[in-house]
Amino acid sequence: MTANPRIVSDPNVCGGDPCVKGTRIPAHIILTHLAAGDSWETVLSQFPKLAAGDIRACLESTPLT
């Protein structure tokens, strides 16, 4: 799987957790909202800096267990 450029990890931002590029929004927070049943529209309204492509990138960057 190729890394998505929308998801970045910087040791100086959020403790190095993967975040949506240009924000301090960790990918795992977005995934937690989706897992709790929030729709994409709800997540986008709660995080106005995000675009639908950012949510898709969070999903694509998560390893399947």
Full 3-state SS string of 1-34: CCCCCCEECCCCCHHHCCEECCCCCEHHHHHHHH
What does the domain layout of the chain look like in residue ranges? 7-60
Phi, psi of 33 (to 5 degrees): -60, -45
The owner of tokens 């929308």 is 6
Instruction: Specify the CATH number of the domain 7-60.
Output: 1.10.10.10
pLDDT in tens, 1-57: 458 999 999 999 999 999 999 999 999 999 999 999 999 999 999 999 999 999 999
Whole-structure pTM value: 0.89
